[in-house]
Amino acid sequence: MDLETGKIIVLIEDRGVGIPFEFLDRIKDPFFTTKQSSGNTGLGLAISDRIVENHGGRLRFTSFPGKGTSARLYFPIQKA
């Protein structure tokens, strides 16, 4: 939780192969996939992004090929 910005930040990281830089800006685009041959539709991150935005949040990614990817979800803190 970041009280200074009024946001809750959720960080999810992996140590996988990473995402090539040229794809990083497109990974949330509907139907974008690099795995069509295995039947993927490329809708997962597009839908996730829409859900996060519907709750007033943002979904951001950083990735380094060969080192892994980080996903950060930012949500506004709601006062009860």
Could you give the domains of the chain?
A: 7-76 (3.30.565.10)
Tell me the pLDDT tens digit for each residue of 19-42: 999 999 999 999 998 877 777 788
Q: Is 68 a residue whose pLDDT tops 90?
A: yes
- Give the model's pLDDT for residue 23: 92
- pLDDT cut 70: percent of the chain above it: 94
Residue 68 DSSP SS3: strand
Both tokens of residue 14? 């992996």
- What pTM was computed for the model? 0.80
Query: Phi and psi dihedrals of 24, rounded to 5?
Result: -55, -40
- Give the model's pLDDT for residue 3: 66
Using only the alpha carbons of the chain, give its radius of gyration. Answer: 14
Q: Is 2 a residue whose pLDDT tops 70?
A: no
